[in-house]
């Protein structure tokens, strides 16, 4: 099965107050050393696959540069990374090649470099078309910056553009959110991602909200019910504009769904390089010793059609720039058949189409699927899930309470085991 390649570029002009990613503001002096490390890791990818106990097709049909802000790298650095990928992997001519871009960072030289490297999709971190809201969370762009970048991308021949929006920013109101949605649909971009503001201790704004403070405009953040209303309004208005929801946070015109992101939700293989980059590959049972797997990974658990006791391997790079560039160890997780079965629910249910139960039964056995029947029935009764032929999927209310739904499936499986 073709693989996806993800490359993390953790550099930013400023650190947005809501951001909980492993990114930050660093001196340009470290950029070159970081690119050196990325390219070395790509060169050593076959050895890493063997060491992690995975197997991987060299054919790649999606490449994604995320961040951070990859377009802070200069043209030569970007081209080095893409050259390394193409030297190590067989990149399909029809591959989706995406680069994340903060509005205002798309210089003429960088845009020319992206085209030279085969980039055919750009994701713009807009978050809000209201200048005051963007400024409140340390975004540096203005509405006209975004519109200018979209026009330049289209002139250059890149029409596959995504806009990121965040529901729940400080100072956001129903009227201002309506304005951002209207501006988004007016651009005609084929893909939109809508995220609800995360409140946790992994970002400055999140910590301030948890503490009940006022820094970072925290006291101007809408409450949870209002944010949920914003999300539902986005679903409705994007649908009316022909930008259809295909995943909890993602909307696209027909044929423009993100191939790379779909790999995550459908458990297709992907290989990540760079700070805090994650990978998932099928387990290689012939070429690797999984004897160190714990008891919960060794047991069969009734998964009659699972190929081996370990279904896949997940591994993650260090989550700090210093530890990554200094060569800290990769963190490996061996995914048991039980865990893989659960992942099919809490990842697959993110998709609007849901999870195909007969396909799960074919792969994991009828007995495994029966474990989830009680949970499915209860969630359907509660209005959080519905059946559509062979598929089970979330209702609109279920999407708002998706974490509770996912936890229910894991709890149901553990209760049986």
177 vs 187: CA distance, rounded Å: 16
Split at pLDDT 50, 70, 90, the class of 314 is very high
Question: In the structure, what pLDDT confidence band is assigned to residue 11 with cuts at 50, 70 and 90?
Answer: very high
What pLDDT is recorded for position 2?
Answer: 95
Q: Residue 372, Cα to own-chain centre: how many angstroms?
A: 26
pLDDT bracket for residue 130 (50, 70, 90): very high
Residue 408 has a pLDDT of 86
Residue 297 has pLDDT above 90, yes or no: no
d(C-alpha 224, C-alpha 48), whole Å: 43
- Model pLDDT for residues 355-367, shown as the tens digit of each residue: 999 999 999 889 8
Instruction: Please state the rounded mean pLDDT for residues 229-244.
Output: 97
Q: Which two tokens stand for residue 381?
A: 């009764």
Reply yes or no on whether the pLDDT at 295 is more than 70.
no
Residue 263: the pLDDT is 97
Distances (CA, A) of 132 to 143, 230, 277: 10, 18, 32
Query: Using one digit for the tens of pLDDT, what is the confidence trace for 18-45?
Result: 998 888 889 899 999 999 999 999 999 9
pLDDT given for residue 21 in this prediction: 87
C-alpha 55, offset from chain centre: 22
Q: Give the span between the Cα atoms of 139 and 78, in whole angstroms.
A: 23
Q: What is the DSSP letter of 384?
A: S
Angle, CA of 127, 132 and 134, to the nearest 5°: 25
- The pLDDT, as a whole number, for residue 288 is 57
Mean pLDDT on 138-153: 96
Residues 54-74 have a mean pLDDT of 95
Looking at 243-252, 281-290, 401-410, which range is the least confident one?
A: 281-290
- pLDDT score, position 383: 96
Q: Phi and psi of 386, rounded to 5°? A: -140, 160
Residue 79: band (very low, low, confident or very high) from pLDDT cuts 50, 70, 90: very high
pLDDT (0 to 100) of residue 411: 54
Q: How many Å apart are CA 312 and CA 337, to the nearest integer?
A: 8
pTM for this structure?
0.92
Q: 379-404 in b/e burial notation, b at 16+ Cβ within 10 A?
A: beeeebbeeeeebbbbbeebbbbbee
State yes or no: pLDDT of 290 exceeds 70: no
**pLDDT of 303 strictly over 60:** no
Give the Cα separation of 274 and 33 in Å (integer): 12
Instruction: Report the percentage of the chain scoring pLDDT > 70.
Output: 93
- pLDDT score of 23: 87
Q: Domains for the chain: give ranges and CATH numbers.
A: 3-261 (3.20.20.70), 289-311+330-416 (1.10.10.920)
Q: Residue 363 has which token pair?
A: 């792969």
The answer to whether 121 touches 160, Cβ cutoff 8 Å, is yes
Task: Quote the pLDDT of residue 304.
Answer: 45
pLDDT of residue 416: 37
**pLDDT (tens digit, 9 = 90+) per residue, 385-410?**
999 999 999 999 999 999 999 988 87
């Amino acid at each position: 099965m073709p693989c996806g390649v993800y490359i993390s570029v953790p550099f930013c002009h400023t650190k947005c107050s809501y951001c909980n990613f492993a990114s930050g503001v660093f001196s340009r002096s470290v950029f070159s050393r970081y690119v050196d490390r990325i390219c070395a890791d790509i060169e050593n990818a076959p050895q890493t696959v063997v060491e992690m106990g995975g197997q991987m097709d060299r054919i790649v049909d999606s490449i994604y540069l995320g961040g951070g802000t990859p377009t802070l790298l200069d043209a030569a650095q970007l081209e080095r990374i893409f050259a390394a990928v193409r030297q190590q992997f067989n990149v399909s001519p029809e591959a989706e090649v995406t680069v994340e871009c903060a509005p205002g960072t798309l210089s003429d030289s960088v845009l020319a470099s992206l085209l030279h490297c085969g980039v055919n999709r750009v994701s713009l971190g807009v978050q809000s078309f209201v200048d005051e809201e963007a400024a409140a969370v340390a975004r540096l762009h203005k509405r006209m910056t975004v519109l200018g970048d979209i026009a330049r991308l289209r002139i250059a021949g890149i029409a596959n553009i995504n806009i990121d929006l965040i529901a729940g920013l400080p100072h956001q109101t129903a009227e201002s959110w309506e304005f951002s949605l209207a501006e988004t649909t007016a651009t005609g971009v084929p893909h939109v991602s809508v995220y609800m503001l995360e409140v946790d201790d992994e970002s400055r704004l999140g910590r301030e909200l948890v503490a009940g403070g006022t820094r970072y405009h925290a006291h101007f953040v809408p409450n949870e019910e209002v944010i949920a209303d914003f999300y539902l309004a986005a679903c409705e208005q994007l649908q009316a504009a022909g930008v259809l929801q295909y995943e909890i946070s993602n909307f696209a015109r027909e044929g423009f769904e993100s191939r790379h992101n779909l790999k995550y939700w459908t458990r297709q293989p992907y290989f990540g390089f760079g700070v805090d980059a994650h990978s998932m590959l099928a387990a290689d049972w012939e070429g690797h010793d999984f004897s160190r797997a714990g008891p919960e990974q060794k047991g069969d658990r009734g998964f009659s059609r699972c190929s081996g006791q370990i279904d896949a391997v997940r591994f993650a790079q260090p989550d700090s720039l210093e530890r990554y560039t200094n060569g800290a160890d990769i963190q490996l997780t061996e995914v048991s058949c039980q865990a893989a079965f659960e992942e099919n629910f809490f990842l697959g249910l993110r998709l609007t189409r849901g999870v195909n139960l007969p396909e799960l039964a074919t792969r994991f056995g009828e007995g495994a699927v029966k474990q989830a029947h009680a949970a499915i029935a209860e969630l359907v009764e509660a209005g959080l899930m519905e059946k559509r032929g062979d598929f089970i999927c979330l209702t609109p209310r279920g999407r708002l309470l998706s974490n509770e739904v996912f936890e229910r499936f894991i709890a149901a499986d553990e209760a049986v085991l």
